Structure 1
Amino acid sequence: MRERLFAAAERVLAREGAAGLTNRAVTEEAGLAKGLLYSHFADLDDFVAQLVLDRFEAIAAEVAGLPERAGSGEVRENLTGAALALLGTNGPAVAAAALSRSAVAERVRQAWEGGAPGPGAVEEAMARYVEAEQRLGRMAAEVDGAMLALAITGTVHHLRMHGSALPDDNPELVRRLVAALVTVP
Protein backbone atom coordinates (compact mmCIF):
# COMPACT_ATOMS: atom_id res chain seq x y z
CA MET A 1 0.00 0.00 0.00
CA ARG A 2 2.86 2.37 0.82
CA GLU A 3 4.42 1.86 -2.59
CA ARG A 4 1.09 2.40 -4.30
CA LEU A 5 0.68 5.70 -2.47
CA PHE A 6 4.29 6.70 -3.16
CA ALA A 7 3.96 5.96 -6.88
CA ALA A 8 0.72 7.97 -7.00
CA ALA A 9 2.43 10.88 -5.22
CA GLU A 10 5.25 10.86 -7.77
CA ARG A 11 2.74 11.04 -10.61
CA VAL A 12 0.93 13.93 -8.92
CA LEU A 13 4.23 15.72 -8.34
CA ALA A 14 5.33 15.23 -11.93
CA ARG A 15 2.02 16.56 -13.22
CA GLU A 16 1.10 19.29 -10.70
CA GLY A 17 4.25 20.09 -8.75
CA ALA A 18 4.57 20.36 -4.99
CA ALA A 19 1.55 22.65 -4.65
CA GLY A 20 -0.70 19.93 -6.04
CA LEU A 21 0.42 17.30 -3.55
CA THR A 22 -2.50 16.81 -1.19
CA ASN A 23 -4.01 13.81 0.57
CA ARG A 24 -6.96 13.93 -1.82
CA ALA A 25 -4.77 14.20 -4.94
CA VAL A 26 -2.62 11.24 -3.89
CA THR A 27 -5.46 8.95 -2.87
CA GLU A 28 -7.50 9.79 -5.97
CA GLU A 29 -4.46 9.14 -8.16
CA ALA A 30 -3.96 5.81 -6.40
CA GLY A 31 -7.66 4.95 -6.70
CA LEU A 32 -8.03 4.67 -2.93
CA ALA A 33 -10.33 6.08 -0.26
CA LYS A 34 -9.44 9.60 0.88
CA GLY A 35 -8.58 8.73 4.46
CA LEU A 36 -6.39 5.75 3.65
CA LEU A 37 -3.20 7.79 3.58
CA TYR A 38 -3.73 8.61 7.25
CA SER A 39 -4.06 4.93 8.09
CA HIS A 40 -0.41 4.49 7.12
CA PHE A 41 1.12 7.90 7.91
CA ALA A 42 0.68 10.38 10.76
CA ASP A 43 0.02 13.29 8.40
CA LEU A 44 0.93 14.56 4.95
CA ASP A 45 4.35 15.75 6.15
CA ASP A 46 5.10 12.27 7.47
CA PHE A 47 3.99 10.80 4.14
CA VAL A 48 6.22 13.11 2.08
CA ALA A 49 9.19 12.56 4.41
CA GLN A 50 8.76 8.80 4.15
CA LEU A 51 8.51 9.09 0.35
CA VAL A 52 11.82 11.00 0.20
CA LEU A 53 13.55 8.58 2.59
CA ASP A 54 12.20 5.55 0.73
CA ARG A 55 13.43 6.83 -2.61
CA PHE A 56 16.89 7.63 -1.23
CA GLU A 57 17.10 4.20 0.39
CA ALA A 58 16.37 2.59 -2.99
CA ILE A 59 18.97 4.78 -4.70
CA ALA A 60 21.59 3.97 -2.04
CA ALA A 61 20.88 0.25 -2.43
CA GLU A 62 21.23 0.52 -6.20
CA VAL A 63 24.58 2.33 -5.96
CA ALA A 64 26.00 0.33 -3.03
CA GLY A 65 27.48 -2.30 -5.34
CA LEU A 66 29.42 0.24 -7.40
CA PRO A 67 32.81 -0.45 -5.74
CA GLU A 68 32.48 -4.15 -6.58
CA ARG A 69 32.11 -3.24 -10.26
CA ALA A 70 35.64 -1.84 -10.35
CA GLY A 71 37.56 -3.38 -13.20
CA SER A 72 34.50 -4.01 -15.32
CA GLY A 73 32.80 -1.75 -17.81
CA GLU A 74 33.91 1.80 -18.54
CA VAL A 75 34.86 3.97 -15.56
CA ARG A 76 32.93 7.00 -16.83
CA GLU A 77 29.83 4.94 -17.60
CA ASN A 78 29.90 3.33 -14.15
CA LEU A 79 30.10 6.73 -12.46
CA THR A 80 27.47 8.18 -14.79
CA GLY A 81 25.11 5.31 -13.96
CA ALA A 82 25.51 5.96 -10.24
CA ALA A 83 24.93 9.68 -10.73
CA LEU A 84 21.82 9.06 -12.83
CA ALA A 85 20.48 6.73 -10.14
CA LEU A 86 20.85 9.58 -7.67
CA LEU A 87 19.00 11.91 -10.00
CA GLY A 88 16.18 9.42 -10.39
CA THR A 89 13.21 9.65 -12.67
CA ASN A 90 11.21 12.06 -10.52
CA GLY A 91 14.09 13.36 -8.42
CA PRO A 92 13.51 17.09 -8.85
CA ALA A 93 9.77 16.79 -8.21
CA VAL A 94 10.24 14.72 -5.05
CA ALA A 95 12.95 17.08 -3.80
CA ALA A 96 10.73 20.09 -4.46
CA ALA A 97 7.97 18.49 -2.39
CA ALA A 98 10.37 17.98 0.49
CA LEU A 99 11.68 21.53 0.31
CA SER A 100 8.23 23.05 0.04
CA ARG A 101 7.34 21.75 3.49
CA SER A 102 9.72 22.78 6.27
CA ALA A 103 8.56 19.99 8.58
CA VAL A 104 9.40 17.45 5.86
CA ALA A 105 12.85 18.89 5.26
CA GLU A 106 13.54 18.75 8.99
CA ARG A 107 12.33 15.14 9.31
CA VAL A 108 14.46 14.06 6.37
CA ARG A 109 17.52 15.91 7.73
CA GLN A 110 17.08 14.24 11.12
CA ALA A 111 16.69 10.82 9.53
CA TRP A 112 19.86 11.31 7.50
CA GLU A 113 21.73 12.47 10.60
CA GLY A 114 20.47 9.33 12.31
CA GLY A 115 21.98 7.13 9.61
CA ALA A 116 19.21 6.77 7.03
CA PRO A 117 20.67 6.43 3.53
CA GLY A 118 20.88 9.72 1.69
CA PRO A 119 23.13 11.48 -0.80
CA GLY A 120 26.11 10.75 1.46
CA ALA A 121 25.72 7.00 0.87
CA VAL A 122 25.98 7.55 -2.89
CA GLU A 123 28.97 9.84 -2.45
CA GLU A 124 30.70 7.24 -0.28
CA ALA A 125 30.07 4.44 -2.80
CA MET A 126 31.49 6.60 -5.60
CA ALA A 127 34.60 7.44 -3.56
CA ARG A 128 35.19 3.75 -2.75
CA TYR A 129 34.70 2.91 -6.44
CA VAL A 130 37.30 5.48 -7.50
CA GLU A 131 39.76 4.08 -4.95
CA ALA A 132 39.17 0.55 -6.24
CA GLU A 133 39.73 1.68 -9.84
CA GLN A 134 42.93 3.43 -8.75
CA ARG A 135 44.22 0.21 -7.22
CA LEU A 136 43.54 -1.49 -10.57
CA GLY A 137 45.33 1.27 -12.47
CA ARG A 138 42.20 2.34 -14.34
CA MET A 139 42.28 5.80 -12.73
CA ALA A 140 45.27 7.97 -11.94
CA ALA A 141 46.59 7.66 -8.40
CA GLU A 142 46.56 11.44 -7.88
CA VAL A 143 42.78 11.69 -8.35
CA ASP A 144 41.13 12.68 -5.08
CA GLY A 145 38.28 10.16 -5.05
CA ALA A 146 36.40 11.83 -2.22
CA MET A 147 36.45 15.22 -3.98
CA LEU A 148 35.48 13.68 -7.31
CA ALA A 149 32.54 11.93 -5.65
CA LEU A 150 31.56 15.17 -3.90
CA ALA A 151 31.69 17.12 -7.17
CA ILE A 152 29.51 14.59 -8.98
CA THR A 153 26.97 14.08 -6.20
CA GLY A 154 26.89 17.79 -5.41
CA THR A 155 26.12 18.69 -9.00
CA VAL A 156 23.52 15.95 -9.30
CA HIS A 157 22.02 17.11 -6.00
CA HIS A 158 21.77 20.59 -7.51
CA LEU A 159 19.98 19.16 -10.55
CA ARG A 160 17.76 17.08 -8.27
CA MET A 161 16.77 20.09 -6.19
CA HIS A 162 16.46 22.64 -8.96
CA GLY A 163 16.35 20.75 -12.22
CA SER A 164 17.64 22.32 -15.37
CA ALA A 165 15.87 24.52 -17.86
CA LEU A 166 15.22 21.38 -19.89
CA PRO A 167 14.80 18.44 -17.45
CA ASP A 168 15.03 15.91 -20.27
CA ASP A 169 18.60 17.17 -20.72
CA ASN A 170 19.64 16.14 -17.19
CA PRO A 171 21.04 12.73 -18.25
CA GLU A 172 23.16 14.40 -20.94
CA LEU A 173 24.33 17.03 -18.45
CA VAL A 174 25.40 14.26 -16.06
CA ARG A 175 27.29 12.46 -18.83
CA ARG A 176 29.06 15.69 -19.79
CA LEU A 177 29.89 16.40 -16.12
CA VAL A 178 31.45 12.99 -15.57
CA ALA A 179 33.37 13.24 -18.86
CA ALA A 180 34.73 16.65 -17.82
CA LEU A 181 35.78 15.47 -14.35
CA VAL A 182 37.02 11.95 -14.99
CA THR A 183 40.18 11.28 -16.89
CA VAL A 184 41.20 7.72 -17.46
CA PRO A 185 44.64 6.49 -18.50
Structure 2
Amino acid sequence: MSPRGVAIPDLRERLFTAAERVVARDGAAALTSRAVTAEAECGKGVLHTHFAGLDEFVAELLLDRFARGARQAQALEAKVGQATVADNLREVVLALMDALPSAVVGMAMTRPAAALHTREGLRSGAPAFDAIQDAFTAYLKAEQRGGRLPEGADSATIALALVGTIHHLLMTRVPGRAEDAEATTGRLLAVLLPG
Protein backbone atom coordinates (compact mmCIF):
# COMPACT_ATOMS: atom_id res chain seq x y z
CA MET A 1 0.00 0.00 0.00
CA SER A 2 1.34 3.43 -0.88
CA PRO A 3 1.81 5.73 2.11
CA ARG A 4 -0.72 8.55 2.43
CA GLY A 5 0.39 11.83 0.85
CA VAL A 6 3.10 10.25 -1.31
CA ALA A 7 2.79 10.76 -5.06
CA ILE A 8 2.19 7.53 -6.97
CA PRO A 9 4.02 7.37 -10.30
CA ASP A 10 1.81 6.60 -13.31
CA LEU A 11 -1.28 6.51 -11.10
CA ARG A 12 -3.79 6.57 -13.98
CA GLU A 13 -2.17 3.59 -15.69
CA ARG A 14 -1.85 1.77 -12.39
CA LEU A 15 -5.58 2.21 -11.71
CA PHE A 16 -6.53 1.30 -15.29
CA THR A 17 -4.43 -1.86 -15.23
CA ALA A 18 -5.88 -2.81 -11.85
CA ALA A 19 -9.42 -2.36 -13.19
CA GLU A 20 -8.64 -4.61 -16.15
CA ARG A 21 -7.31 -7.30 -13.81
CA VAL A 22 -10.42 -7.08 -11.59
CA VAL A 23 -12.74 -7.40 -14.59
CA ALA A 24 -10.71 -10.24 -16.15
CA ARG A 25 -10.57 -12.20 -12.90
CA ASP A 26 -13.94 -11.44 -11.28
CA GLY A 27 -16.18 -10.08 -14.03
CA ALA A 28 -17.60 -6.64 -14.76
CA ALA A 29 -20.03 -6.78 -11.82
CA ALA A 30 -17.06 -6.89 -9.42
CA LEU A 31 -15.67 -3.56 -10.62
CA THR A 32 -16.04 -1.05 -7.84
CA SER A 33 -13.81 1.85 -6.89
CA ARG A 34 -12.77 -0.07 -3.78
CA ALA A 35 -11.90 -3.20 -5.82
CA VAL A 36 -9.78 -1.08 -8.18
CA THR A 37 -7.87 0.71 -5.44
CA ALA A 38 -7.33 -2.53 -3.51
CA GLU A 39 -5.98 -4.22 -6.66
CA ALA A 40 -3.76 -1.19 -7.36
CA GLU A 41 -2.63 -1.17 -3.71
CA CYS A 42 -3.67 2.46 -3.29
CA GLY A 43 -5.69 4.27 -0.67
CA LYS A 44 -9.47 3.79 -0.92
CA GLY A 45 -10.18 7.38 -1.94
CA VAL A 46 -7.52 7.72 -4.64
CA LEU A 47 -9.86 6.89 -7.54
CA HIS A 48 -12.38 9.52 -6.44
CA THR A 49 -9.62 12.07 -5.96
CA HIS A 50 -8.71 11.81 -9.65
CA PHE A 51 -12.08 10.93 -11.24
CA ALA A 52 -15.61 12.22 -10.59
CA GLY A 53 -16.75 8.65 -9.97
CA LEU A 54 -16.65 5.11 -11.27
CA ASP A 55 -18.51 5.99 -14.49
CA GLU A 56 -16.01 8.67 -15.42
CA PHE A 57 -13.19 6.29 -14.53
CA VAL A 58 -14.59 3.53 -16.78
CA ALA A 59 -15.06 6.00 -19.66
CA GLU A 60 -11.53 7.38 -19.24
CA LEU A 61 -10.17 3.82 -19.18
CA LEU A 62 -11.92 3.07 -22.47
CA LEU A 63 -10.76 6.36 -24.06
CA ASP A 64 -7.21 5.65 -22.91
CA ARG A 65 -7.29 2.18 -24.44
CA PHE A 66 -8.70 3.55 -27.70
CA ALA A 67 -5.81 6.04 -27.80
CA ARG A 68 -3.34 3.22 -27.18
CA GLY A 69 -4.98 1.23 -29.98
CA ALA A 70 -4.71 4.20 -32.34
CA ARG A 71 -0.98 4.50 -31.53
CA GLN A 72 -0.54 0.78 -32.27
CA ALA A 73 -2.29 1.22 -35.62
CA GLN A 74 -0.14 4.25 -36.44
CA ALA A 75 2.95 2.13 -35.78
CA LEU A 76 2.06 0.19 -38.95
CA GLU A 77 3.81 2.96 -40.86
CA ALA A 78 7.16 1.60 -39.65
CA LYS A 79 6.29 -1.85 -41.04
CA VAL A 80 5.85 -0.81 -44.66
CA GLY A 81 7.78 -3.26 -46.83
CA GLN A 82 8.33 -5.75 -44.00
CA ALA A 83 6.77 -9.20 -43.45
CA THR A 84 3.53 -9.45 -45.45
CA VAL A 85 0.74 -6.89 -45.59
CA ALA A 86 -1.69 -9.45 -44.15
CA ASP A 87 0.68 -10.41 -41.31
CA ASN A 88 1.26 -6.76 -40.39
CA LEU A 89 -2.47 -6.03 -40.33
CA ARG A 90 -3.30 -9.23 -38.43
CA GLU A 91 -0.71 -8.40 -35.77
CA VAL A 92 -2.19 -4.94 -35.20
CA VAL A 93 -5.81 -6.15 -35.23
CA LEU A 94 -5.04 -8.77 -32.57
CA ALA A 95 -3.07 -6.22 -30.52
CA LEU A 96 -6.08 -3.90 -30.69
CA MET A 97 -8.31 -6.69 -29.42
CA ASP A 98 -5.96 -7.07 -26.44
CA ALA A 99 -5.79 -3.30 -25.89
CA LEU A 100 -9.59 -2.99 -25.72
CA PRO A 101 -10.89 -5.53 -23.19
CA SER A 102 -14.43 -6.49 -24.20
CA ALA A 103 -15.75 -6.34 -20.64
CA VAL A 104 -14.52 -2.77 -20.27
CA VAL A 105 -16.01 -1.80 -23.65
CA GLY A 106 -19.30 -3.39 -22.60
CA MET A 107 -19.30 -1.59 -19.25
CA ALA A 108 -18.59 1.76 -20.85
CA MET A 109 -21.48 1.25 -23.26
CA THR A 110 -24.04 -0.11 -20.78
CA ARG A 111 -23.49 2.34 -17.93
CA PRO A 112 -25.40 5.46 -19.10
CA ALA A 113 -23.10 8.00 -17.43
CA ALA A 114 -19.98 6.19 -18.68
CA ALA A 115 -21.44 5.99 -22.20
CA LEU A 116 -22.21 9.72 -22.15
CA HIS A 117 -18.71 10.60 -20.94
CA THR A 118 -17.19 8.32 -23.60
CA ARG A 119 -19.29 9.95 -26.36
CA GLU A 120 -18.28 13.41 -25.13
CA GLY A 121 -14.63 12.40 -25.23
CA LEU A 122 -14.97 11.03 -28.76
CA ARG A 123 -16.80 14.19 -29.90
CA SER A 124 -13.98 16.25 -28.42
CA GLY A 125 -11.51 14.45 -30.66
CA ALA A 126 -10.24 11.57 -28.54
CA PRO A 127 -8.81 8.98 -30.94
CA ALA A 128 -10.91 5.89 -31.52
CA PHE A 129 -12.06 3.83 -34.48
CA ASP A 130 -11.70 6.76 -36.90
CA ALA A 131 -8.02 7.22 -36.00
CA ILE A 132 -7.44 3.48 -36.34
CA GLN A 133 -9.17 3.45 -39.72
CA ASP A 134 -7.06 6.41 -40.90
CA ALA A 135 -3.88 4.62 -39.80
CA PHE A 136 -4.91 1.44 -41.64
CA THR A 137 -5.70 3.46 -44.78
CA ALA A 138 -2.36 5.30 -44.67
CA TYR A 139 -0.49 2.01 -44.20
CA LEU A 140 -2.32 0.32 -47.07
CA LYS A 141 -1.69 3.27 -49.39
CA ALA A 142 2.01 3.17 -48.52
CA GLU A 143 2.11 -0.55 -49.31
CA GLN A 144 0.29 0.22 -52.56
CA ARG A 145 2.93 2.79 -53.52
CA GLY A 146 5.58 0.16 -52.75
CA GLY A 147 3.90 -2.35 -55.05
CA ARG A 148 2.92 -4.81 -52.31
CA LEU A 149 -0.79 -4.11 -52.74
CA PRO A 150 -2.46 -3.98 -56.16
CA GLU A 151 -2.90 -0.50 -57.60
CA GLY A 152 -6.65 -0.96 -57.90
CA ALA A 153 -7.14 -2.03 -54.27
CA ASP A 154 -9.51 0.26 -52.37
CA SER A 155 -7.42 1.02 -49.28
CA ALA A 156 -10.12 3.04 -47.55
CA THR A 157 -12.71 0.26 -47.92
CA ILE A 158 -10.27 -2.40 -46.73
CA ALA A 159 -9.51 -0.23 -43.68
CA LEU A 160 -13.23 0.28 -43.02
CA ALA A 161 -13.86 -3.48 -43.25
CA LEU A 162 -11.07 -4.15 -40.75
CA VAL A 163 -12.35 -1.53 -38.31
CA GLY A 164 -15.91 -2.84 -38.67
CA THR A 165 -14.66 -6.33 -37.90
CA ILE A 166 -12.74 -5.12 -34.85
CA HIS A 167 -15.87 -3.37 -33.61
CA HIS A 168 -17.96 -6.50 -34.17
CA LEU A 169 -15.44 -8.73 -32.44
CA LEU A 170 -15.16 -6.38 -29.46
CA MET A 171 -18.91 -6.36 -28.99
CA THR A 172 -19.47 -10.10 -29.48
CA ARG A 173 -16.34 -11.96 -28.40
CA VAL A 174 -16.30 -14.37 -25.52
CA PRO A 175 -13.46 -13.69 -23.05
CA GLY A 176 -10.69 -16.26 -23.30
CA ARG A 177 -11.43 -17.18 -26.93
CA ALA A 178 -8.76 -15.22 -28.77
CA GLU A 179 -8.67 -17.91 -31.49
CA ASP A 180 -12.06 -16.68 -32.73
CA ALA A 181 -10.68 -13.18 -33.34
CA GLU A 182 -7.58 -14.60 -34.99
CA ALA A 183 -9.56 -16.93 -37.27
CA THR A 184 -12.07 -14.23 -38.24
CA THR A 185 -9.29 -11.73 -38.95
CA GLY A 186 -7.42 -14.30 -41.05
CA ARG A 187 -10.51 -15.10 -43.14
CA LEU A 188 -11.28 -11.42 -43.68
CA LEU A 189 -7.73 -10.59 -44.74
CA ALA A 190 -7.74 -13.54 -47.17
CA VAL A 191 -10.80 -12.01 -48.85
CA LEU A 192 -9.63 -8.40 -48.72
CA LEU A 193 -6.04 -9.05 -49.78
CA PRO A 194 -6.19 -11.81 -52.40
CA GLY A 195 -2.88 -13.25 -53.46
**C-alpha distance in 2 between matches for 1:18 and 1:136:** 45
1:11-22 correspondence to structure 2 within 5 Å: 11-22=21-32
What per-residue deviation string (whole Å, max 9, x for no partner) do you get for residues 43-76 of structure 1? 1111111111111111111221313422222110
Give 1:90 shift. Answer: 5.3
Check the 8 A contact 1:13/1:97 in 2, yes or no. Answer: no
Alignment of 1:1-185 (within 5 A): 1-89=11-99, 91-164=101-174, 167-169=177-179, 170-184=181-195
* TM-score of the pair, normalised by structure 2: 0.86
Measured against aligned partners, the alpha-carbon deviations of 1:104-145 in whole angstroms (never above 9, x if no partner) come to: 112112211221111111111111111111111111122111
CA distance in 1, matches of 2:61, 2:185: 24
Question: 1:80: Cα distance to partner?
Answer: 0.8
* Partner Cα separation in structure 2 for residue 144 and residue 109 of structure 1: 29
The runs of 4+ residues in structure 1 deviating greater than 6 Å are: none
Q: Percent identity?
A: 45
Name which structure has the greater RCO, CA cutoff 8 Å, separation 6+: 1
Alpha-carbon distance in structure 1 between the residues aligned to 2:148 and 2:56: 44
Any gaps of 5 or more consecutive residues in structure 1?
none
Matched pairs, number: 184
Q: Tell me, what secondary structure is at the counterpart of 1:64?
A: helix
Indicate the RMSD between aligned Cα atoms, in angstroms. Answer: 1.8
Q: Which amino acid aligns with 2:101?
A: G
**Is the deviation greater in 58-67 or in 143-152?**
58-67
Give CA deviations for 1:19-48 in whole Å, capped at 9, x if unaligned: 221111111212222211111111111111
Shift in alpha-carbon separation, 1:165–1:116, aligned structure 2, 3 A: closer
CA distance in 1, matches of 2:188, 2:134: 18
